Structure 1
């Protein structure tokens, strides 16, 4: 474990061959791709992200940041994370609530997952699979959502299909 100073942001520590973590993040548990997921938890993911899960009313708020990890900021992974968000968003549209895909330069990803829709553990495992380069869990969740609620908007507004909505 090595420590580096990044000025006002504070000291960062290299942790188990993952991107550097802030000193207060070193004690976060490493989330195993097949491990349990707790609401109210904060984890370090296998791909070097920081995952936070909170319950807010009828939704789970899931935030995944990949600050300082260029391997997680590729166009392919950005597209997969947007598809994952669409899977969750389809359930929200079906239930009458509306959430926008949150994306702050692809470094901070925020998902609204309606309780009683996609299983929380399955959703988190799909996000971890994207980090590790596997798109199959995202495809399955999106197919399951579309089978239940109909077509959802495509992440690419320039696609040949054009945007579709769930009503």
Structure 2
């Protein structure tokens, strides 16, 4: 499924997947096109969360073995989940408005307060977390500011953009 901000471009999903640590449960909080879920080595348990009912419907039709789908707010799901520490959370929320070249991209947008709420919850999780997006004042001054980062080029409809990964864990061993 093609989705705005999708991670299916050459070099993009590889960079992300190469920075994923070992885990038993994979949780993707803003599933969208699910390029990472689709391409990474399957976990014992995979969870996809999206607020967009059309996204959930498409994924239900794909019938991916072992994938649990949850329609709703990612932050609410994260706050209610009982973590064991063996999870890996990948969050690829809508881009911060001020970091975009264009305007509205998604059927369900995030405002600045939504981003702050998400980042605060992600920073408090007792497991490995990766967040992807563009550098922005909100993200770079959030609890993620102390996390390990990687910048990489991604091809967009508007040309090359610099994506950033924020990770709360050390670089995975090869």
TM range (shorter): under 0.3
Q: Return the TM-score normalized by structure 1.
A: 0.24
State the TM-score, normalized to the length of structure 2: 0.23
Which structure has more relative contact order (CA 8 Å, sep 6+)? It is 2
Of structures 1 and 2, the larger Rg is shown by: 1
Which protein has the bigger helix share? 1
